[in-house]
Amino acid sequence: MNSETRFAPIIDRFGSRLILDVDRLPGYFHDVSEINARPDAIFFAETEPEVIAIINLCRKSKIPIVFRGAGTGYTGGAVPSPSCLVLSLEKLRKLKIEPEKYQAFCGPGLITKELMDKAAEFSLFYPPDPASYDESTLGGNVAENAGGLHCKKYGVTKDYIIGLRAVTIEGELLKTGVYSDRDLLDITGIIIGSEGLLAAVTEIAVRLIDVPKTGATILAAFGSPENAARTVSQVTDEGIVPSVMEYMDGDAVQASNRYEHSLEIDQAGAILLFETSGENADKQSKRIYEICREHNAGHLKKEDNPAAAENLWKIRRNLSKAVKASAREKIAEDVCVPPSKLPELVAFVAQLNQEYPIRVNSYGHAGDGNLHVNFLIENVPVDSALIDEGVKRLFEKTLELGGTLTGEHGIGLTKKRFLHLEFDSPTLRCMKRIKNVFDPAHLLNPGKMFCT
């Protein structure tokens, strides 16, 4: 059946708004995983009733649907499934803040930073801030349960979601949390982190908090990754919870230097960036400064000026792009271990870097023990089996250290074959049953998260 016939009911309803000459939008063939696949059609929904209509029409014609926010996901969640329609939610950009209730109501296409900036106008704060916060959408954040720089102290996306409106494959609108009179089973919790496999999120209610008082930003450079990681462990052991504690190893520092030209440090084994907040912010940053010294930080900088501090944070926020720019191909993994195990994990990454004929570097939200480990291929051809082996070893080590295979980037396409390493059969079976209840014909994001 040709595309015109297959999509005829949708064309009847939406005319040329249904895009069939998809080759003019190649950006919609991939996310940051760089896996490429061509969809059969793309539709930009502008309202919730349109989402319902499209889902109904697709279900009746058995057309698979892949929801899409900004396409900044790392694991292929927004990559088109075979013969699918990509349903972009990026135009649903509602933003209504009710400051007296500390609540905001957002369209899934709203960019995370837009919510943060608007909340700040009311002296309110939305903490979950993935490093992609100026690109990623709230719908994508919900679907991936995104973490971020502030998440150790303030929690991740799920900790701020107080209700969802979401459309099922039956075209029915679910209203959860504050959108319903009462909740029984936690459907909000089931949809958060479900990576577009269960329903289209069409509106998100979030909780806001008062803007906390922040202390100085501290940059500490160490001779070795292990010294930096031990610093993280000691800060954690002393019960200090910085609002941000970010780690980058020496190779990532060099990539940043080449990209930003602003770090002012040429060589370092690793760098930590800290920010403290709350009533004890100043006392805590003083102690963090001392702990860095005790662990032989060779270069220490304390920045009280918020504008200058923002410059340091920009370095961290651009790190993913900087590392990507430093190689022909970047295979980005995202593992997480208890913070006390971070020294062992960074030592293991250094060992992989030594053993393999490619660069293996890491950076991440150290406070959470969350490390983004990158296998970086330059111009010399590398056997992909070797990289697969390195990734598998990284995952095995992470699990041995009591960690998890996905700190925050989800499973999608790239990690589904490793799911069984972390989850036992009953848990996996239960997750698959939940998928079947929501989407028995597997029309929503088929082929993702679970191996068939």
Stretch that binds ligand FAD, among 119-127, 144-152, 221-229, 338-346 (CB under 6 A): 144-152
Minimum CB distance to ligand FAD, residue 114 (Å): 12
Binding flag, residue 132, ligand FAD (CB under 6 A): yes
Q: Which of residues 6, 30, 68, 295 is near ligand FAD by CB under 6 A?
A: 68
Minimum CB distance to ligand FAD, residue 1 (Å): 25
Binding flag, residue 200, ligand FAD (CB under 6 A): yes
Q: Report the residue number, 175 or 287, with the smaller CB distance to ligand FAD.
A: 175
Going by C-beta distance under 8 Å and a sequence separation of 6 or more, which residues neighbour residue 402?
A: 337, 338, 341
Binding flag, residue 89, ligand FAD (CB under 6 A): yes
Task: Give the nearest residue (CB) to ligand FAD.
Answer: 140
Q: Which of residues 39, 80, 127, 140 is near ligand FAD by CB under 6 A?
A: 140
Q: Which of residues 39, 108, 215, 369 is near ligand FAD by CB under 6 A?
A: 108
Q: Report the residue number, 144 or 303, with the smaller CB distance to ligand FAD.
A: 144
Binding flag, residue 374, ligand FAD (CB under 6 A): no
Binding flag, residue 139, ligand FAD (CB under 6 A): yes
Stretch that binds ligand FAD, among 73-81, 215-223, 382-390, 431-439 (CB under 6 A): 73-81
Binding flag, residue 66, ligand FAD (CB under 6 A): yes
Q: Which of residues 131, 218, 322, 391 is near ligand FAD by CB under 6 A?
A: 131
Minimum CB distance to ligand FAD, residue 52 (Å): 13
Q: How many residues at the interface with ligand FAD, by CB under 6 A?
A: 37
Minimum CB distance to ligand FAD, residue 128 (Å): 8
Q: What angle do CA 409, 111, 364 make, to 5 degrees?
A: 35
Binding flag, residue 78, ligand FAD (CB under 6 A): yes
Minimum CB distance to ligand FAD, residue 440 (Å): 18
CA separation, residue 355 to residues 202, 226, 326, 371, 389 (Å): 47, 18, 20, 19, 12
Give the x-and-dash track for 30-59 against ligand FAD (CB under 6 A).
-xx---------------------------
Minimum CB distance to ligand FAD, residue 416 (Å): 12
Long-range contacts of 316-321 (CB under 8 A, 24+ apart): 316/131, 316/149, 316/246, 316/248, 316/273, 316/363, 317/131, 317/133, 317/134, 317/149, 318/256, 318/259, 318/260, 319/131, 319/248, 319/252, 319/255, 319/256, 319/363, 320/131, 320/132, 320/372, 321/259
Q: Report the residue number, 147 or 177, with the smaller CB distance to ligand FAD.
A: 147
Binding flag, residue 218, ligand FAD (CB under 6 A): no
Binding flag, residue 67, ligand FAD (CB under 6 A): yes
Q: Which of residues 28, 29, 74, 160 is near ligand FAD by CB under 6 A?
A: 74
Q: What is d(CA 10, CA 65) in angstroms, rounded to the nearest whole number?
A: 13
Minimum CB distance to ligand FAD, residue 101 (Å): 24
Binding flag, residue 105, ligand FAD (CB under 6 A): no
Q: Report the residue number, 132 or 217, with the smaller CB distance to ligand FAD.
A: 132
Binding-site ranges for ligand FAD (CB under 6 A): 31-32, 66-74, 77-78, 89, 108, 130-132, 136-137, 139-141, 143-144, 146-148, 195-196, 200-201, 320-321, 408-409, 445
